[in-house]
């Protein structure tokens, strides 16, 4: 039994997969399309476990896919949210330097942000409190284009849009095997077999495993999961931050560091940090998956990355394990924080594509091979840019149809 036949099967009902499905159906009404999702609802993993930030595009290399897609994507996200009555707020972001050694990097960020078309304003120490009364620093950048939204609501609205346009969102259809046929691909799923002329793999944390099912040359890359933990502030302390407060990125570590986010619901979170995860889809600090752990440890790129960032990584793990160490980092920006002001909050897992050389793949990585489009790396700002990423992937699929 070969099951139903589709023109396109999209694997993964996260924001990028659903954004791709929306774009395909907008460009080609009547397309027979299915989105295959192993969980029982859309947006379960990265799309539903994030800080909810609408990124402006401050950090990204001008001309990169990240920079291009983020700029266009935040406008598209705001339009979609307004059309579907999804609450969002443009709160602005403050990037704060607390010591002199950070000032050259802060100046470099300002140049990059302006090159990406942002209305970056440099803020002196005395002006910081006018924007964020509880925050202290020696200099800062204010980026008014940043904001917050609930991406779980966005993912749900994407799924409804796909269904309204004639596509099928098939939850409980985890892909077990992909087999090449004369007319396309046969997918063996938890919900039964189905066929598709073209497969689009937007599998996030499982992207390398789906690629391996198709025989795609994934040898040089591996998805390595990083867990990001948050602290949630008590409701009476949520007013400590009005919008978004970020550190100056440390070039010695490939992640942003601890930051503060006042969500669209008014809740204040600190985080996420970034520590190696022992399970790709395990959100507890003690979550372990043997297969995931072995896949990471056997990959030479992770060992090389660990050696390069040994000291910085150890400090990050220490802050994750010891609340007082995490608190000390937060006090660099809000000096009078107390131990009881926050509690352990949610966690998320970042699907980071890593090369065999130990280099973290920074930009979006999308490859095509034998009737399959693989999204191998879609880190932040993929949520913000998901509509535009979807249009980009759709254009590549339609040339194959």
CATH number of the 221-236+251-355 domain: 3.30.9
Cα 196 from chain centre? 28
pLDDT at 1 over 60: no
Distance CA(63)–CA(111), nearest Å, equals 14
Angle between helix 151-164 and 15-27 (nearest 10): 30
Q: Answer whether 149's CB lies under 8 Å from 77's CB.
A: yes
Write down the pLDDT at residue 129: 96
Q: pLDDT digits over 340-355, tens only?
A: 999 999 999 999 999 9
Give me the chain's average pLDDT, please.
93
- Model-level pTM? 0.95
Q: pLDDT digits over 223-253, tens only?
A: 999 999 999 999 999 999 999 999 998 765 6
**Count of all residues that appear for the chain in the document:** 401
Average pLDDT over residues 198-220: 91
Q: Specify the CATH number for 5-47+152-219+362-400; select among 3.50.50.60, 3.30.70.260, 3.40.109.10, 3.30.1330.10.
A: 3.50.50.60
Q: Do the domains 221-236+251-355 and 5-47+152-219+362-400 match in fold?
A: no
Domain boundaries, the chain: 5-47+152-219+362-400, 93-144, 221-236+251-355
In order of 101, 260, 267, the CA distances from 14 in angstroms are 39, 25, 24
- For residue 160, which phi and psi values (nearest 5 degrees)? -65, -35
């Amino acid at each position: 039994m070969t099951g139903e036949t589709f023109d396109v099967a999209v694997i993964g009902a996260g924001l990028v997969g659903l954004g791709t499905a929306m774009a395909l159906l907008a460009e080609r009404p009547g397309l027979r399309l299915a989105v295959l999702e192993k969980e029982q609802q859309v947006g379960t993993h990265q799309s539903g476990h994030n800080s909810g930030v609408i990124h402006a595009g401050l950090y990204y290399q001008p001309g990169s896919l990240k920079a291009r897609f983020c700029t266009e994507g935040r406008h598209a996200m705001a339009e979609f949210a307004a059309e579907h009555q999804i609450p969002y707020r443009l709160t602005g972001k403050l990037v704060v330097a607390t010591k002199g050694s950070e000032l050259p990097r802060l100046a470099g960020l300002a140049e990059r942000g302006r090159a990406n078309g942002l209305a970056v304003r440099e803020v002196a120490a005395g002006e910081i409190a006018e924007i964020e009364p509880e925050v202290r620093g020696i200099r800062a950048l204010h980026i008014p284009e940043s904001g917050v939204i609930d991406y779980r609501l966005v993912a749900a609205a994407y799924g409804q849009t796909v269904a309204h346009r004639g596509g099928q969102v098939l939850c409980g259809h985890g892909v077990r095997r992909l087999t090449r046929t004369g007319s396309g691909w046969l997918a063996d799923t938890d919900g039964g077999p189905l066929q598709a002329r073209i497969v689009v793999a937007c599998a996030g944390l499982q992207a390398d495993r789906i690629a391996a099912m198709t025989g795609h040359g994934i040898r040089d890359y591996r998805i390595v999961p990083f867990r990001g933990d948050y602290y949630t502030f008590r409701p009476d302390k949520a007013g400590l931050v009005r919008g978004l407060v970020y550190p100056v990125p440390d070039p010695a570590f490939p992640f942003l560091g601890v930051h503060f986010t006042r969500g669209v619901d008014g809740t204040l979170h600190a985080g996420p940090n970034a520590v190696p995860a022992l399970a790709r889809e395990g959100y507890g600090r003690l979550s372990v998956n043997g297969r995931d752990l072995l896949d990471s440890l056997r990959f030479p790129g992770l060992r090389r990355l660990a050696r390069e960032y040994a000291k910085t990584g150890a400090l990050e793990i220490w802050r994750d394990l010891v609340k007082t160490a995490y608190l000390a980092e937060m006090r660099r920006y809000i000096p009078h924080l107390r131990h009881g002001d926050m509690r352990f909050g949610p966690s998320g897992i970042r699907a980071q594509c890593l090369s065999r050389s130990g280099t973290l793949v920074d930009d979006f990585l999308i490859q095509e091979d034998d009737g399959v489009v693989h999204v191998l790396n879609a880190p932040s700002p993929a949520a913000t840019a998901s509509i535009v990423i979807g249009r980009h992937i759709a254009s590549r699929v339609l040339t194959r149809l």
